[in-house]
Structure 1
Amino acid sequence: MGAPLSAWPWDNFGTYKYLLYGPFVGKVLYEWFYGEEQSYYNLSWCLHLLILSGLRGLIHVLWGSYSHMFFLTRNRRIVQKGVDFKQIDKEWDWDNFLILQALVASMACYMFPFLQHLPLWNVKGLIVALILHVGVSEPLYYWVHRKFHGDYLFTHYHSLHHSSPVPESFTAGNATLLEHLIMTVIIGTPILGASLMGYGSASLIYGYVLIFDFLRCLGHCNVEVVPHQLFEKLPFLRYVIYTPTYHHLHHSDKDTNFCLFMPLFDALGNTLNKKSWQSPKLPSSGSGNGDTVPHFVFLAHMVDVSSSMHVQFVFRSFASLPYTTRFFLLPGLPVTFLVLLAMWAWSKTFLVSFYYLRGRLHHTWVVPRCGFQYFLPFATEGINNQIEQAILRADKIGVKVISLAALNKNESLNGGGKLFVDKHPNLRVRVVHGNTLTAAVILNEIPQDVKEVFLTGATSKLGRAIALYLCQKKVKVLMLTLSTDRFQRIQKEAPPEYQSYLVQVTKYQAAQNCKTWIVGKWITPREQYWAPRGTHFHQFVVPPILPFRKDCTYGDLAAMRLPEDVEGLGCCEVSNHQL
C-alpha cells in the first residue's frame, strides 16, 4: 500500500474519470435550457471552469506537440533522446491535476459566492496577484519543493515526477495527489487573495492560470526557446525568469534549481547550479547539444490524411498505440489536409522521430506526400526530387545509411533507388531498401504445406524474390503480369529444374481455385471476388488492400520485431505479425 495521498482517487476509472466533469456539464445545460439567458459578461461559473480546463489541457498538448517537432527543434533539444513507450505510459494520466483543480475551484465558488460574479477586468487585481505571486507563491513553492527532496517525501511522492528521463510538458502534470494539492494552494493564493481584497476579475483568473501553466510547460519542454543573447544584454532577467535548460539542471542535479519560475530564490537560498548561466548558450545557439547526426535514416511517406495524424507531434498518446481510424480524428481532417497542402507546396523533407539502437542515433524522415500521389504520373518528378534532396542532405550531414521505405523505393518510380545512385556516383551515404527483409517476413508467414500461390506485383523486386524462393521449394507460383519479357527474365534466373514452377497468368480468373494470394499490387474489391472462399491475402502493398471479403482473411503489412536495445521509440504505426 502506498503512502497517504500518493495515489489518485480515480486511478482505476480509466477514461471514465472524465465523467467527473459531468456535474459541470449538467449545470451548464440546465442553465441554458431553463435558466436566464447567458451573455458574454454573465457566463455560468461552471462553463468558465470547463473552458479553463480545456484551455489548460490545450496548452500542455501544444507544448508537447512543439517538443516533438524534431524538424524544428533538433538543434535545440536539451536531452537528445526520444520519449519511449515506458515514459508515455507512466505519464498517461498527466491531466489528473486539471480534474482536481476544477473540483477544488468549484468548492471555492460555493464557499465564496462572490467568485461567481466577478467583473471581466480589474487592473488592480493583476498588480495584487503579481505581488502575491512573488511574495507568497514563489517562496512557498521553493520551500516546499526543497522539502520534497528529503528522503521520505522524495521516495514516496516526488520520485514519480523525476522518473521521466525526458522532461516534457506532460511531465509537469505527472505528480502525486499530495503534490498537486499543494500546487493548488500555490496557484490559488494570488487569485483568491486578490479576489478577497475586492480586486478579482475573470481576466485575472484566466490570465494567471494560463500563464502559470504556460511557464510550467516551458520549463519542462526539453527545447531551449529562450535566446542566450537576451540574458547577455539584460543580465537581471536571469533572476526573473527560468529557462528549459535551467530547469533541466534540476532534473539532472536534484540538489539545485528548486525555484518555481524565478531563479532569484535559488540565488537567495544558495541552491543555484553553477552551470545555470552558461548552459542555455549551447542549445539556443543552434549548434546542437552533442552529436545529433544520425547513423541511419528511414525515409518514409504518409499513407493518407488520417494516418498522417498518427505522429507524436499531433497526439503523443495516440501515436503510441497501433494505428486505427478513430472518431475524434474526424474534426481534424480538414485542418490536416490544409497542412498537407502547405507541406507539399513547401516540398521539404522533415524529421518526425528518432530513437537509439545500440548507442547509435536513428532518424525517421518523411516525404510530405500521401500514398495516392505515387500513382499520379505527373507527380513522379516532384517525388523523386524530394527523395533526392533527402539523400543529398543525409550525405551532407554525414549519415551513414539511408533506407527508402514504402513507395519511395517503387521500381517504376526510381528503380528502387538506383536512379539516385547512378546520378550521384560519389555519394558517401549508402542508399538501401528493405525488400529482402520484407520478402523474408512474407515467406515466413506462408504455411509449409502450401503447394500453389497467386502473386500480384510479380515482376517487382519483392515479387521476383518471393517467386524465386517459392519455386525452389516446389511451390507453383502463378505470376500475374502482362509483360512476357519480364516474366521470362525472372524465370531464367531460377535453376532449370524449378523453372516449370513459375507460371505466367494475365487474368485474376486464373487464381479462382488458389487459396493463397500474395498481393504486391493494389487490387480492387471486384478483383478480390475471384479468390475462392477461405483465401488468405498476404500483402506487401502500400496502401493496404481493403478487407472486402468477409469469407476470407487478410494479413497485415510486413513488420519485424525491434531489438531489445532500442531506446527512445514511442510511436507505433501498426500491430503486425513479426518475424
Structure 2
Amino acid sequence: MASTPGILSEWPWKPLGKFKYLILAPWVIRSTYMYVTKEDPRERDLSTFLIFPFLLSRMLHNQIWISLSRYRLAKGNNRIVDKSLEFDQVDRERNWDDQILFNGILHYLVTHILPNGTNVPTWRTEGVIMAILLHAGVVEFLYYWLHRALHHHYLYSRYHSHHHSSIVTEPITSVTHPFAEHMSYFFLFGIPLLTTTVSGTGSQAVIFGYVTYIDFMNNLGHCNFELIPKWFFYVFPPLKYLMYTPSFHSLHHTQFRTNYSLFMPIYDYIYGTVDKSLEDLYEMSLKRKEELPNVVYLTHLTTPESIYYMQIGFPGLASRPHDYSSSKWYLWFMWPLTALSSLLAGIYGRTFVVESHRFHKLTLQTWVVPKYKKQYFLQGQKSSITNLIEKAVLDAEEKGVKVLSLGLLNQTEESNAYGEVYVKRHPKLKVKVVDGSSLAAAVILNSIPKGTTQILLTGNLTKVAYAVAFALCQKGIQVASPKDDEYKKLKESFINVSSSAETSNLVLTKKYFQKVWLVGDGMNKEEQVKAPKGTIFIPFSQFPPQPFRKDCFYYCTPAMYTPASLENLHSCENWLPRRVMSAWRIAGIVHGFEGWNEHECGFYTTADIHKVWQATLRHGFQPLPITFSCLEV
C-alpha cells in the first residue's frame, strides 16, 4: 500500500478474494447468450461477444511478458537494474489482474449506455486516425501533467508511492496502482475510445487495438531489460520522441523526478525533465552480456503443471509452495497451454535458466532439465536424460562455472551413480560436481530429536540413507530395518567402509515400535499404519512422503533457511516454503564459497559431514525448527 493510503485505495471487490472473477459472469453469460441465440447473423453483436475473449487474451499477453522478462533477467543479458526482487513485491503486485476486470466492466457498461456501443464494425479508418491523434496530442499531454501531480507530496504519499515501492520493475508493476489512481488512468485512456464511439467512427480495431497497444507499451517499459536496438532510432530519428524504451522508464523508478511521460518522451523533452543519464544507461544496457554464474543448481520439472510454479511461471504460484496433492482449479482450463509447454519442453531438448541469485561474491543460477519426474523412471528416457545432464555439465564447464550441484532425480545410483559417470567420462573437468549427500545427511542427523536411542529406516535406500545409518550406528543409536534386502545392503555397506563394530547397532526387525522413522521413496500406507501414534517421519529422499496419518508428524525433506543476504529470492523451491532451500542445492553454494577443490559425487565419495555442516552454518544457513513440517505451510 501507499505510505498513507487515501480514499478509494482498495479495489471494491477485494473482500471477494478469489471469487472476484464472478463479477463478470452476468455480463459474459448475457453477451454469449445473445450472440448464440440470434438466428439472423446481422443481429449478432460480435463486438460485445468478443469482450470476454479479449480480456483472456490480455491476461495471456501479460503472462508472456512476465515469463519473458524473468527468463531474460535470470540470464542477465541487457539487464538494466541489478537490485534484488523479493517476496514483498510479488505479494504487492499479486492483484495485477484487477485492472483487467475493471476494464471489462467498463467495456460492458459502454455497450449498454452509449447508442453506438453495440454492433461496432471491425474497421473504420477515420476512427483509427482519430484515436492515434487523440492519444498523441491529448492523452500523452494530460498524462504527463497528471503524473507530475502524482509526484506531489500529498498525492504521492496517498497513492503513487504504492507503485514506486517497486524499484526493480516487472511487467505487471505497470498496473500496480491503488483503485483511485486506476480510475484516473482509465478516464484518460477512455478519451480516444469514447470519442470515436460517440462520433460513430469507432471500431473493434480501435477498441481492442488501442488497449493492446497500452498493454504492450506498459509491459515494455517495466520489463527491466533493454530490447529496443539502436538501429531502430537510426532508421527513423523522430522515434526518439515518440517511443520510450525500458531504460527510459526504469530511470523514472530509480530517480523519481525525471522521465514522467507515458509512452512518448516528447513532453519530457519539451519541459526539460529528461534524465541526463538516459543515453549512458541505454548504451550500457544494450552492451550488457549474459551473466556467467559461479554455482549452478541443476533440477528438473516434476509435473507438466510445475512450470507454472517456477520463477518464470505465474508469480502468485511461484511465490508459494507447490502442493502436489491438489491442483489449482483454473489450471484445469489451461490444459492446451500446459500441453503446448510439454511439447515445447520435449522439442527444445536442452536445459534452460529459470532463476538467478546473488550471494555475496557468488552468482547463482538454477538450470532446469526439460523432463518430468515420471520420465526418470521410464527405461526409454534414461539415455536421453543422462545425455541432457552431461550436456549441462559440459555447458557449465565451458561457462567457467565453479560448482554444479545435482538436484532431485538428476543424481541417483541407477541413472548416473550420483554424478560419478560424468566425472569419469571427463576426468579433466574443472567444474566440481556435487551431489549434496553430505549436507543432506547432516540436516537429517540434526533433525533427529535428542535422546533418541533407536530409529526405524525404511524406503528405497540412497547414498544419504547409508551415510545417515552409518553415522547413527557410530553414535550408538540402534538402526532397525524391517526388510531383509535393505538390511543386507546396509550391513554390506558398513563392512565396506569400516570394521564390523558398527554393525552391532544395525538390526533386522519385524516390529514397528520405534517413534522415529527415517523414510525414503517407496514407503507405503501399509507401513505407515503400523507406526505407533506420535511417530516422527523424517524423509531422506528428495521428494516428501505422502502424508497419511493425522496422529503422526511429517518432517520436511532435508532443507535449511537461507540468510537474508541471499538476494533476488522471490520464488519457492517446489514444496518448500519461502526462503528455504533444499540441502542438495545449498551444498553446491557452500562448496563454491569454501573453494573445495574436489568433487562430491559417486556412491563411496562423501565429504566430512561435520565439516560441511559447520561450513553451512558459518555462511548463515539455519536449520528448520525441529517440529517443522511442509504440511504447516
Same fold (TM over 0.5): yes
Instruction: Name the structure 1 match of 2:23.
Output: 20
- The alpha carbon displacement at 1:126 in A equals 0.3
CA contact (8 A) 1:344 1:369 kept: yes
In 2, the alpha carbon distance for the partners of 1:85 and 1:397 equals 30
1:173-188 matches, cutoff 5 A:
173-188=175-190
User: Structure 1 regions of 5+ residues with no counterpart?
Assistant: none
Name the CA shift for 1:416/1:239 in 2 (closer, same or farther; >3 Å): same
CA contact (8 A) 1:126 1:204 kept: yes
- The alpha carbon displacement at 1:478 in A equals 3.0
Name the CA shift for 1:340/1:40 in 2 (closer, same or farther; >3 Å): farther
- The alpha carbon displacement at 1:189 in A equals 0.5
In 2, the alpha carbon distance for the partners of 1:38 and 1:242 equals 46
In 1, the alpha carbon distance for the partners of 2:336 and 2:497 equals 49
Instruction: Name the structure 1 match of 2:129.
Output: 127
Greater Cα offset, 75-84 or 267-276: 75-84
Name the CA shift for 1:112/1:485 in 2 (closer, same or farther; >3 Å): closer
1:183 partner SS: helix
Instruction: Name the structure 2 match of 1:487.
Output: 491
CA contact (8 A) 1:225 1:284 kept: yes
Match of residue 362, structure 2, among 356, 360, 363: 360
In structure 1, what residue type is equivalent to 2:569?
L
In 1, the alpha carbon distance for the partners of 2:160 and 2:397 equals 45
CA contact (8 A) 1:540 1:558 kept: yes
- The alpha carbon displacement at 1:502 in A equals 1.6
Name the CA shift for 1:142/1:120 in 2 (closer, same or farther; >3 Å): same
Match of residue 465, structure 1, among 443, 467, 470: 467
2:368 partner SS: strand
User: Structure 2 regions of 5+ residues with no counterpart?
Assistant: 578-622, 626-633
In 2, the alpha carbon distance for the partners of 1:129 and 1:328 equals 36
In structure 1, what residue type is equivalent to 2:305?
S
In 1, the alpha carbon distance for the partners of 2:375 and 2:102 equals 47
In structure 2, what residue type is equivalent to 1:407?
L
Name the CA shift for 1:550/1:192 in 2 (closer, same or farther; >3 Å): same
CA displacement 1:42-72 (0-9 Å, x = unmatched): 3377644433333323322221121122488
How many residues align? The count is 571
Name the CA shift for 1:234/1:45 in 2 (closer, same or farther; >3 Å): closer
Instruction: Name the structure 1 match of 2:385.
Output: 383
Instruction: Name the structure 1 match of 2:398.
Output: 396
1:298 partner SS: strand
In 1, the alpha carbon distance for the partners of 2:343 and 2:404 equals 26
In structure 2, what residue type is equivalent to 1:362?
L
CA contact (8 A) 2:34 2:44 kept: no
| Aligned-CA RMSD value | 3.1
1:113 partner SS: coil
Name the CA shift for 1:549/1:88 in 2 (closer, same or farther; >3 Å): same
- The alpha carbon displacement at 1:341 in A equals 4.0
- The alpha carbon displacement at 1:91 in A equals 0.8
CA contact (8 A) 2:73 2:225 kept: no
In structure 1, what residue type is equivalent to 2:178?
T
Instruction: Name the structure 2 match of 1:4.
Output: 7
1:141-540 matches, cutoff 5 A:
141-285=143-287, 287-288=289-290, 292-324=291-323, 325-333=327-335, 335-358=337-360, 360-456=362-458, 460-479=462-481, 480=483, 482=485, 484=488, 487-491=491-495, 493=497, 497-503=501-507, 510=510, 512=512, 514=514, 516-525=516-525, 536-540=536-540
CA displacement 1:319-376 (0-9 Å, x = unmatched): 1111022222234345434433433343211111122223533211111122233333
In structure 2, what residue type is equivalent to 1:79?
V
In structure 1, what residue type is equivalent to 2:313?
V
In 1, the alpha carbon distance for the partners of 2:406 and 2:257 equals 47
In 1, the alpha carbon distance for the partners of 2:182 and 2:304 equals 38
Instruction: Name the structure 2 match of 1:574.
Output: 575
In 1, the alpha carbon distance for the partners of 2:209 and 2:351 equals 38
1:114 partner SS: coil
In structure 2, what residue type is equivalent to 1:488?
E
In structure 2, what residue type is equivalent to 1:17?
K
CA displacement 1:369-394 (0-9 Å, x = unmatched): 22233333443333232222222222
In 1, the alpha carbon distance for the partners of 2:285 and 2:217 equals 19
CA displacement 1:208-256 (0-9 Å, x = unmatched): 1111111111111122222222223332222221111221122122222
CA displacement 1:493-519 (0-9 Å, x = unmatched): 45654320123x5xxx83555554322
CA contact (8 A) 2:307 2:313 kept: no
In structure 2, what residue type is equivalent to 1:510?
K
In 2, the alpha carbon distance for the partners of 1:481 and 1:458 equals 13
Q: Give the TM-score normalised by structure 2.
A: 0.81
In 1, the alpha carbon distance for the partners of 2:384 and 2:82 equals 33
- The alpha carbon displacement at 1:97 in A equals 2.2
CA contact (8 A) 1:45 1:116 kept: yes
2:193 partner SS: helix
CA displacement 1:408-453 (0-9 Å, x = unmatched): 2213322322333333343333222321222233333333454433
In structure 2, what residue type is equivalent to 1:10?
W
Q: Give the TM-score normalised by structure 1.
A: 0.88
CA contact (8 A) 1:456 1:481 kept: no
CA contact (8 A) 1:32 1:38 kept: no
CA displacement 1:279-333 (0-9 Å, x = unmatched): 3334345624xxx222321111122223333213221111111102222223434
Name the CA shift for 1:146/1:365 in 2 (closer, same or farther; >3 Å): same
- The alpha carbon displacement at 1:459 in A equals 5.6
In 1, the alpha carbon distance for the partners of 2:489 and 2:60 equals 59
- The alpha carbon displacement at 1:184 in A equals 0.7
Name the CA shift for 1:542/1:489 in 2 (closer, same or farther; >3 Å): closer
- The alpha carbon displacement at 1:81 in A equals 5.0
In 2, the alpha carbon distance for the partners of 1:80 and 1:333 equals 35
In 2, the alpha carbon distance for the partners of 1:312 and 1:170 equals 14
CA displacement 1:445-501 (0-9 Å, x = unmatched): 333454433324676320111101221333322345748577324246456543201
